[in-house]
Amino acid sequence: MDDEVKILCVDDEKNVLKSLERLFLDTDYEIFTASSGEDGLNILKSTENIQIVMSDYRMPQMNGVEFLKEVCALRPETVRIVLSGYADTSSIVEAINEGQIYKFIPKPWHDEELKVTISNALEHYFMQQKNIQLTKELEIKNQELLKINNNLEKLVEERTLDLRIQNRVLTSSQNILDSLPVAVIGVDPEGLIAQCNQTGRDLFSGQDASIMGMDRQGALPEEVNKIIEEAAEKGSMTGTISNNGTSLNVKGVHMKFSGGQEGVILVIDKGNEHGNG
C-alpha cells in the first residue's frame, strides 16, 4: 500500500484513545482521535482520505451506531469498526444495519488480533478502491467503445447510402447502354469481357447465355479479336466484319481510366446486309 494510512478513533474514554495510539506507534499509520461523535465528524469533514473509522459503541449524546451511520452517509468508502465492552445480539445487528459495520470488536481487545483486523480492513478498503477505479475505467472504455460503435454505425449508414446511390447510377448507366441501338463491349487487359450491353448480347450470346466474364477469344469472332488487339496496340482501330450474314462496323478504342484501370471499348453497329455498302 503506497497510500498514507489514516485511522480515526472515537471513544469518550481518553485512556482507550491513548491505548490505541500506543498500539500503532510502531506503524506508519496516522492516528486521529476524538472523544465524541460530533468531534469525530468534524475531523472527518476536515481531513481527506481517512480509510478506517473505529468507534466505541456506548457514548453520551451520540452513540456509536448513530455516529457511524453519519460516517457512512458522509464517507461511504470508509471501513467502519465498532469497539465495545457492551455487546448483545440486538446491538450488533443494529450496528451492522445502521452503520454498515465491517467488524464488531469486543473490549478488552487483544492487541495482535486488533492489528490483524486493521490490516485486513485496510486490504478490504484498498481492494474496494481498486474495484471502484477499475469500474470507472471500464465505464470510460465502454463509453469510448459506444462512441466508436456509433461512429461505425454512422459510417456504415453513409457507406450503405453511397452504395445505393452508386448502384442506382450503375443501374441507370446499364439501362442507358442497353437502350443504345449499337453494341458496346468492354474488354479488360487480361482479355475478359467486363461490359456488354443488350445489343452486344443479342449479337454474340445465345438466347439464354451471356458473354460477361468470358474470355474474348472464345466469346467473340476472330475478326473482332483482331480489332481489339490492334486497338490495344495502336490506340484505336476500325473495321467491318460479317456476322451471321450481317455487315457490322466495329470501332475499338484503347482507354485508360482513373485509378490505373484500362481496357478496350468496342462500339459495333450494323452496316448493309451481306457486307454490301
pLDDT at 84 (0 to 100): 79
DSSP bridge pairs for 256: 262
Could you tell me if 206 and 104 lie in one domain?
no
Could you tell me if 189 and 105 lie in one domain?
no
Q: Which of 101, 132, 163 is the last residue of a domain?
A: 132
Q: Mean pLDDT over residues 231-255, rounded?
A: 88
35 occurs within a structural domain: yes
Q: What average pLDDT is seen over the chain?
A: 86
Which residues are CB-contacts of 21 (< 8 A; sequence separation ≥ 6)?
9, 31, 33
Could you tell me if 86 and 192 lie in one domain?
no
Domain count for the chain: 2
pLDDT at 209 (0 to 100): 67
71 occurs within a structural domain: yes
pLDDT at 275 (0 to 100): 41
Location of C-alpha cell 457486307: 275
Q: Which of 65, 100, 132 is the last residue of a domain?
A: 132
Which domain, by its residues, includes 46? Answer: 6-132
Could you tell me if 186 and 124 lie in one domain?
no
155 occurs within a structural domain: no
Residue 104 has pLDDT above 90, yes or no: no
Could you tell me if 211 and 110 lie in one domain?
no
Q: Give the confidence band of 98 by pLDDT, cuts at 50, 70, 90.
A: low
Could you tell me if 100 and 217 lie in one domain?
no
Q: Which of 97, 132, 167 is the last residue of a domain?
A: 132
Q: Residue 187, Cβ neighbours under 10 Å: how many?
A: 26
Lowest model confidence (mean pLDDT) among 45-59, 114-128, 147-161? 147-161
pLDDT digits (tens, 9 = 90+) for 172-193: 777 888 888 898 999 999 999 9
Residue 155 has pLDDT above 90, yes or no: no
Could you tell me if 255 and 198 lie in one domain?
yes
Closest CA to 44 of 93, 80, 95, 97: 80
Q: Give the confidence band of 99 by pLDDT, cuts at 50, 70, 90.
A: low
Which pTM was predicted? 0.53
